[in-house]
Amino acid sequence: MPSALVTGSAKGIGKAIVLALAQDGYDVAVHYHSSKPEAQDVARQAAEHGVTAITLQADVTKPQEAQDLVQLAQASLGSLDVLVNNVGNYQKSSLAELDTETWHAMFDSNLHATFYTCQTAVPIMRTQNSGRIINVGYTGAEHLVARPIIAPYGIAKTGVILYSKALAQENAEHGLTVNVVSPGVMENSVTKPLDEIPMGRAGQLSELVGAVRYLLSDEARYVTGVTLEVAGGWNL
């Protein structure tokens, strides 16, 4: 069976993705930082689809723990065919009130953690001559629009997109694809500015999962370095 590691998959978007992959026949590694009971429950649900489902704990903002996570997932599942980087904290703060700790925390969880896991996963996938990496972005991050209230988050997500494009270009000849799925306002979002969304509603997690499934499908073998926004026209 193909195998997948989804970071931050004990809850929310990560949970929805890992359960969908299990339904599609992937052995899965459910990653968590502190939500152990939730991760164990997700693994139990995933295993009901007849696949292997394991839980792995790590603080992926720390380089060594992120590296160990990827290597342990590969060793435990026998391969690493898919990596989905979903970890990424979100915090609002005006620039006047923004402190150094928050600035670094946003980059550590959103950009640096993605870098750490990818840099470990790519050599494994190159050896296999195949692999799919999907990094979770943020709708509008490509547009370079001022968002003072979430400045470090937005900048970090723009970095994820640029890093993903570079990784896609460098590894295309090795059978790897690297893409970004950027959710907008989703059903589990903390705030829901529906008046800003042309479709007038929040997105469903199943709709975001559909974008992930497409990028992992055979039909998307020739798709790499793209950002697929699932946002109902938000930020157009």
CA 117 to mean position of chain CA atoms: 11
**Residue type at 150?**
I
For 169, residues 6+ apart whose C-beta sits below 8 A from its C-beta are: 225
Catalytic, 153? Answer yes
Q: Which helix (H) or strand (E) holds 165?
A: helix 151-171
The catalytic residue among 32, 116, 138, 153 is: 153
Hey, how many other C-beta atoms are within 10 angstroms of the C-beta on 146?
7
Q: What angle do CA 12, 17, 20 make, to 5 degrees?
A: 125
**Residue type at 235?**
N
Q: Which helix (H) or strand (E) holds 39?
A: helix 36-47
Is residue 29 within 8 A of residue 6, CB to CB? The reply is: yes
- Torsion, Cα 36 204 227 82, to 10 degrees, reads 40
| Residues involved in catalysis | 153
